[in-house]
């Protein structure tokens, strides 16, 4: 029992700190901004604990949760994302809401939910943690009650979330009906070795799979489950938009990979074409629509739809020998630093100028050189230009597609790289404004120190990951091994 608790220590740490933050907020009215640092402390502690546990294996609560490197990897991602988001919220939220204690508490709870989802290995547990992630996020998106856009984003997010999770639940029930189990490993065995030909009902698998995909796709914001994304991003407090673009997405990928590779390898031949199609449509649609955006948060929303399309390409190219899943993990880590970094810069800009319009970024290099330079690095990384983290992610994901060695996959890779060219156009449109055009208002911008720190960390990590990728690749490779153990492929 004690051993089980040790394995759960990241989750326990997060729970304690979430409650601590909420409790301190109730007890001491004037602590609000110090609470942010308490929360960051909790996140850092959780990362340390996770790192210490890395490499251990275990199964908890009669198979409801597994503890493996793959889960640890996503726990680290979730904690890193939350830490950076809190750091970038301090100055931003101070002027916008008095309820900051609950805000940080909710963020920690959302992180807890993601860590649970990362280890969930039973459909019931998956559904529960899924809803946990969603509920905390609904509240966070609509957090600025006085701002109608925030409320609109929250409602839209909630309605889409409610529908897709109901559909997902139906898919789960179908799968349970076919196999008689909710445990992923048992489902795999039931599908691979059906008790009798009559017991195998493959025709039901496809709808079950698609229904579940609706839920995952909503979290990840894959086309056609993406419509909430731009509105929620635009309306949400910008740090929360940053969080949404990384945390829940990573969680969605974790659970998608675990369900599809662990439970449904027998039907890989069915889900690969579906995911390939979604991947293609997501990246192309996201990029084409992003070009026309005039609001930077909406642009980043569509860009994130395109980015998950690239990531999904790695899932499609998953095989025993390929770099597919390694690529997915690397891409998500790279995307964490890059996209969070871009959002942090947007937070800083909108905090100081009150604007999210791309046109207002004109001449930023004169007004805030660090911010503009960091954005150039982030956009390079998002477009996949070396020596940045984003290049590494794309290198592995497209590499995996090439590695599959079939015409279809070559085609996917070509579409993928052509999409990066489209994306360069709108990313560098912002660079063009920032660097080539004069500012309407020449006053230089004084960025709060917490935001400078957040931008510097993300920019440094984006470059470090591009220049010295070896440790990150090793980490990702080790994390993939544990999921490969479960997969018969």
Partner 1 sequence: MEFPYLTLITFIPLLGAVACLLIPRKYEREMKRLAVALSLIPLVLAAILWLNYDYTAGTMQFLEEYAWIPTINVHYRVGVDGISLPLVFLTSLLTVICLFYSSYTIKERVKEYFAFFFLLEMGMVGVFVSLDFFLFYVFWEIGLVPMYFLIGVWGGPRRQYAAIKFFLYTLTGSVLMLLAILGMYFAEGTFGILEMARLRPFADNFTLQSLAFWGLFAAFAIKVPLWPFHTWLPDAHVEAPTAGSVILAGVLLKLGAYGFLRILLPIFPQAFHHYAPIIAILALLSIVYGALVSMAQWDLKKLIAYSSVNHMGYVMLGLVAAASAIGTSEKFFDSQAMALNGAVMQMFNHGIITGGLFLLVGVIYERTHIRDLKGFGGLGVTMPLYYGIMTATCLASLGLPGLAGFISEFLVFQGALSIIPPVAAIAISGVVVTAAMFLWKVIQLIFLGPLNQKWADLPDMQRWEVITMAPLLFFMVLFGLYPTPILNLINGTVVKLLSGL
State the residues that interact with partner 1 by CB under 8 A.
Answer: 380, 385-387, 391, 395, 398-399, 402-403, 405, 410, 413-414, 417-418, 420-421, 424-425, 428-429, 432, 435-436, 469-470, 473-474, 477
Smallest distance from partner 1 to CB 256, Å? 25
Helices (H), 292-406: 296-316, 324-353, 364-367, 369-383, 389-404
Q: Which is nearer to partner 1, 258 or 367 (CB)?
A: 367
- Shortest distance in whole angstroms from residue 384 CB to partner 1: 8
Least spacing, CB of residue 341 vs partner 1, in Å: 17
SS3 percent helix, strand, coil of the chain, rounded to 5, is: 80, 0, 20
The smaller minimum CB distance to partner 1, of residues 17 and 398, is found at 398
Q: Which is nearer to partner 1, 157 or 472 (CB)?
A: 472
Measured from the CB atom, is 243 or 398 closer to partner 1?
398
The least distance separating partner 1 from the CB of residue 383, rounded to whole angstroms, comes to 8
Q: Which is nearer to partner 1, 58 or 399 (CB)?
A: 399
Q: How many residues belong to the chain?
A: 489
Closest CA to 164 of 132, 140, 125, 130: 130
Give Cα separations from 434 to 282, 299, 429 (angstroms): 28, 16, 9
User: Which residue, chain included where needed, has tokens 């279809």?
Assistant: 408
User: 174 with 207: CB under 8 angstroms?
Assistant: yes
Q: Which of 71, 53, 51 is nearest to 5 (CA)?
A: 53
Which residues touch 27 (CB under 8 Å, ≥6 apart)?
A: none
Q: How far is the CB of 413 from partner 1 (least distance, A)?
A: 6
Residue for token pair 């070396």 = 386
- Could you tell me which residues come within 8 angstroms of residue 418 by beta carbon, excluding any fewer than 6 positions away? none
**Based on CB atoms, which residue is closest to partner 1, 119 or 309?**
309
Q: Report whether 391 contacts 465 (CB < 8 A).
A: no
Q: How far is the CB of 474 from partner 1 (least distance, A)?
A: 7
- Is the Cβ of residue 171 or residue 324 nearer to partner 1 in the bound state? 324
- Tokens (6 digits) for 20: 């601590």
How far is residue 220's CA from residue 216's CA, in Å, rounded to a whole number?
A: 6
The token duo for 316 is 């499609």
CB of 369 to partner 1, least distance (A): 9
């Amino acid at each position: 029992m004690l051993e089980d608790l040790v394995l759960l220590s990241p989750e326990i740490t997060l729970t304690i700190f979430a409650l601590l933050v909420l409790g301190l907020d109730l007890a001491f009215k004037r602590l609000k901004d110090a609470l942010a640092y308490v929360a960051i402390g909790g996140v850092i502690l959780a990362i340390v604990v996770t790192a210490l546990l890395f490499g251990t294996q275990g199964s908890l609560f009669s198979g409801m949760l597994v503890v493996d490197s793959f889960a640890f990897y996503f726990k680290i991602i979730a904690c890193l994302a939350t830490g950076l988001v809190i750091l970038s919220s301090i100055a931003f939220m101070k002027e916008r809401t008095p309820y900051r204690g609950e805000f940080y508490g909710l963020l920690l709870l959302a992180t807890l939910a993601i860590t649970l989802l990362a280890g969930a290995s039973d459909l019931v547990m998956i559904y529960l943690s899924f809803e946990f992630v969603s509920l905390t996020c609904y509240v966070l998106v609509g957090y600025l009650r006085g701002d109608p856009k925030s409320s609109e984003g929250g409602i839209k997010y909630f309605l889409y979330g409610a529908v897709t999770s109901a559909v997902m639940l139906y898919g789960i029930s179908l799968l349970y009906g076919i196999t008689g189990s909710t445990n992923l490993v048992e489902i795999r065995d039931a599908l691979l070795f059906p008790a009798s030909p009559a017991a195998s009902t493959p025709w039901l698998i496809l709808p079950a799979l698609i229904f579940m995909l609706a839920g995952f796709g909503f979290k990840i914001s894959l086309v056609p489950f993406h419509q909430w994304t731009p509105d929620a991003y635009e309306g949400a407090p910008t740090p929360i938009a940053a969080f949404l673009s990384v945390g829940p997405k990573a969680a969605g990928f974790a659970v998608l990979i675990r369900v599809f590779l662990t439970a449904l390898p027998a039907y890989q031949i069915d889900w690969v074409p579906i995911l390939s199609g979604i991947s293609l449509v997501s990246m192309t649609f996201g990029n084409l629509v992003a070009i026309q955006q005039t609001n930077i948060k909406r642009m980043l929303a569509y860009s994130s739809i395109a980015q998950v399309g690239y990531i999904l390409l790695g899932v499609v190219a998953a095989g025993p020998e390929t770099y597919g899943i390694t690529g997915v993990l690397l891409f998500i880590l790279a995307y964490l630093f890059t996209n969070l970094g871009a959002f942090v810069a947007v937070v800083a800009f909108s905090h100081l100028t009150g604007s999210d319009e791309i046109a207002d970024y004109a001449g930023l290099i004169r007004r805030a050189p660090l911010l503009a330079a960091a954005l150039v690095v982030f956009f390079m990384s998002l477009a996949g230009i070396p020596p940045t983290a984003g290049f590494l992610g794309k290198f592995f994901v497209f590499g995996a597609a090439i590695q599959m060695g079939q015409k279809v996959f070559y085609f996917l890779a070509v579409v993928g790289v052509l999409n990066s060219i489209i994306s360069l156009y709108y990313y560098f449109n912002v660079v063009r404004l920032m660097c080539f055009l004069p500012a309407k208002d020449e006053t230089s911008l004084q960025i709060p120190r917490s935001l400078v720190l957040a931008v510097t960390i993300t920019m440094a990590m984006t470059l470090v990951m591009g220049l010295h990728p070896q440790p990150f690749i090793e980490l990702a490779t080790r994390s993939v091994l544990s999921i490969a153990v479960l997969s018969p492929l």
